[in-house]
């Protein structure tokens, strides 16, 4: 294992995986409060982020911490609807106390969905000062991602995948201010770039070749690194979460990568049915990874990040154990409610999250009809979770409301020209023919 991998901001961590409609600011902070040292945002579409305006706000209940919001203004009838695309705590306020008294300090990695390197680079330009790293989605098989040319599509289009990383690196590097040190662990200017993908086939070498093609297309070398880490979801592109992870195949991929000097310094992260911190640490050790991330287990119970986690997910219980498990889950869900309200999670996203939990946790399934039909607002949730009077007052002060404005702010995004198109995008773009030529050259080298 190289020294660079050991210095990775991911090294040794059990992290929160990116999950669409789940990983909003409130949930990320809740996971951090229970032990996640690095938290990923949900996938944010780079093209949408480029149309956003950065706004800093202070809210009731968060006097010590400003929230940085990336806001899109969408026309709605005769007005404009203010929609928050991505939010995070202002960096200067991250050491302040959260609503439960815990210290907020988790590293925040923005995951981008991108099909074009220039657009991805522009998105990173906009929000780089508010995040601790950027990750590119190169493995999601869902229709939305694939249909827009990112996610799992990039597993087949390694030249485009590498170009996205290359152009982000070009923005981050900025030799006038950081030079090469901006991409080297240990530098004050270090800004990690990573990507998350899947196994390409049951034959490990196929995945290794894919990963190497992406690195080479990005311009990455061990001497001049561009990619900080690679997360490998131990499933094939078409496998869903119900399918058992292919850990043994993933382990062989990592073994082969470590035998190739080209991967020197890259931190490898395991994803796929990690159930808890202890489970993740054991799988990291057994399968040869440097770090791991938790998705579904965190979705249903954030205490899985805690070293003292004892409540298994999806197992049978005695009556007494069922009662104890139900009390545990309802307590955590009440905490999740308060974080969601305080950090302005849209109610539709919070209810989606609740529905996922109540449908997956055996001891909560009997309450599913109430969740589906009876919870139509945060106020309904306060009754359901038996929120205390002092907590109810906080909810009333913080409850998110849809905002409309007569017109968006002038220069609603610093990246847009007067015709609504991205400024100077052509200066970074490669023509498709150039990408095709690069792909041929890379495959010859691999």
Mapping DSSP onto H, E and C, the string for 63-105 reads CCCCEEEEEEEEEECCEEEEEEEEEEECHHHCCCECCCCCECC
82 within a domain of the structure (yes/no) = yes
Least confident of 127-136, 219-228, 404-413, 425-434: 425-434
Do 179 and 316 lie in one domain? The reply is no
Q: What is the pLDDT of residues 246-278, one digit of tens each?
A: 999 999 999 999 999 999 999 999 999 999 999
Do 386 and 244 lie in one domain? The reply is no
Do 155 and 19 lie in one domain? The reply is yes
441 within a domain of the structure (yes/no) = no
105 within a domain of the structure (yes/no) = yes
Q: Which residue has the higher pLDDT, 5 or 280?
A: 280
For 101, other C-beta atoms within 10 Å of its C-beta total: 7
Q: What is the DSSP letter of 237?
A: T
Backbone angles phi, psi at 82, to 5 degrees: -85, 115
User: How far is Cα 308 from Cα 292, in angstroms, rounded to an integer?
Assistant: 18
Q: 279 is written with which tokens?
A: 């489970």
Query: Quick one: pLDDT band at residue 60, thresholds 50, 70, 90?
Result: confident
Least confident of 138-142, 143-147, 150-154, 426-430: 426-430
Do 329 and 224 lie in one domain? The reply is no
Assess contact for 283 and 6: CB atoms under 8 A: no
Q: What is the pLDDT of residues 77-111, one digit of tens each?
A: 889 999 999 999 988 656 544 555 555 577 999 99
User: How far is Cα 270 from Cα 289, in angstroms, rounded to an integer?
Assistant: 6
Do 36 and 64 lie in one domain? The reply is yes
Q: How confident is the model at residue 409, as a pLDDT?
A: 84
Backbone angles phi, psi at 422, to 5 degrees: -65, 135
146 within a domain of the structure (yes/no) = yes
337 within a domain of the structure (yes/no) = yes
Give me the domain span that covers residue 62.
3-310+404-434
200 within a domain of the structure (yes/no) = yes
pLDDT tops 80 at residue 309: yes
Sole residue written with tokens 């997956």: 360
Do 360 and 260 lie in one domain? The reply is no
Assess contact for 139 and 111: CB atoms under 8 A: no
Do 418 and 287 lie in one domain? The reply is yes
Do 156 and 271 lie in one domain? The reply is yes
| CATH number of the domain residue 297 falls in | 3.20.20.70
pLDDT tops 60 at residue 171: yes
* Integer Rg of the chain from CA: 22
Assess contact for 428 and 46: CB atoms under 8 A: no
Do 122 and 65 lie in one domain? The reply is yes
446 within a domain of the structure (yes/no) = no
Do 233 and 173 lie in one domain? The reply is yes
Assess contact for 270 and 292: CB atoms under 8 A: yes
Cα–Cα–Cα angle for 189, 41, 158, nearest 5°? 75
Assess contact for 164 and 155: CB atoms under 8 A: no
The model's pTM? 0.89
445 within a domain of the structure (yes/no) = no
Do 396 and 422 lie in one domain? The reply is no
Do 290 and 318 lie in one domain? The reply is no
Total domain count, the chain: 2
Assess contact for 127 and 414: CB atoms under 8 A: no
**Burial class (CB within 10 angstroms; exposed 0-12, middle 13-18, buried 19+) of 308:** exposed
Q: How confident is the model at residue 407, as a pLDDT?
A: 86
User: How far is Cα 290 from Cα 12, in angstroms, rounded to an integer?
Assistant: 6
Query: Quick one: pLDDT band at residue 313, thresholds 50, 70, 90?
Result: very low
């Amino acid at each position: 294992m190289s020294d660079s991998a050991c210095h990775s901001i991911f090294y040794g961590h059990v992290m929160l995986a990116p999950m669409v409609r789940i990983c909003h600011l409130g949930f990320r902070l809740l996971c951090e409060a229970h032990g996640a040292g690095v938290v990923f945002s949900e996938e944010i579409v780079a093209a949408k982020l480029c149309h956003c305006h950065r706004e800093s706000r202070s809210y009731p209940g968060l006097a010590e911490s400003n929230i940085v919001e990336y806001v899109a203004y969408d026309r709605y009838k005769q007005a404009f609807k203010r929609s928050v695309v991505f939010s995070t705590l202002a960096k200067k306020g991250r050491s302040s106390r959260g609503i439960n008294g815990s210290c907020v300090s988790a590293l925040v990695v923005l995951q981008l969905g991108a099909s074009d390197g220039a657009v991805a680079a522009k998105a990173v330009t906009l929000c780089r000062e508010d995040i601790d790293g950027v990750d590119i989605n190169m493995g999601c098989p869902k229709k939305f991602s694939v249909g827009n040319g990112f996610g799992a599509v990039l597993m087949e289009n390694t030249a485009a995948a590498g170009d996205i990383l290359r152009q982000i690196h070009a923005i981050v590097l900025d030799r006038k201010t950081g030079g090469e040190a901006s991409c080297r662990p240990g530098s004050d200017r270090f800004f990690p770039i990573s990507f998350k993908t899947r196994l390409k086939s049951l034959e490990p070498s196929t995945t290794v070749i894919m990963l190497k093609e992406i690195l080479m297309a990005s311009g990455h070398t061990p001497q001049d690194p561009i990619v900080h880490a690679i997360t490998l979801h131990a499933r094939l592109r078409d496998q869903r979460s119900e399918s058992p992870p292919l850990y043994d195949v993933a382990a062989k991929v990592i073994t082969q990568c470590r035998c190739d000097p080209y991967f020197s310094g890259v931190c490898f992260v395991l994803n796929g049915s990690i159930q808890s911190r202890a489970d993740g640490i054991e799988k990291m050790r057994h399968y040869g990874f440097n770090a791991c991330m938790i998705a579904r287990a965190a979705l249903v119970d954030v205490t899985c990040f805690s070293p003292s986690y004892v409540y298994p997910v999806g197992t049978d219980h005695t009556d007494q154990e069922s009662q104890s498990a139900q009390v545990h889950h309802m307590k955590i869900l009440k905490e999740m409610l308060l974080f969601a309200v305080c950090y302005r999670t849209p109610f539709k996203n919070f209810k989606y999250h609740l529905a996922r939990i109540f449908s997956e946790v055996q001891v909560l399934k009997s309450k599913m009809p109430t969740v589906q039909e009876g919870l139509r607002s945060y106020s309904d949730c306060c009754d359901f979770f038996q929120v205390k009077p002092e907590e109810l007052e906080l909810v009333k002060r913080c409850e998110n409301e849809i905002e409309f404005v007569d017109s968006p702010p002038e220069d609603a995004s610093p990246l847009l020209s007067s015709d609504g198109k991205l400024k100077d995008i052509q200066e970074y773009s490669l023509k498709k023919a150039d990408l095709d030529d690069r792909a041929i050259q890379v495959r010859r080298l691999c």
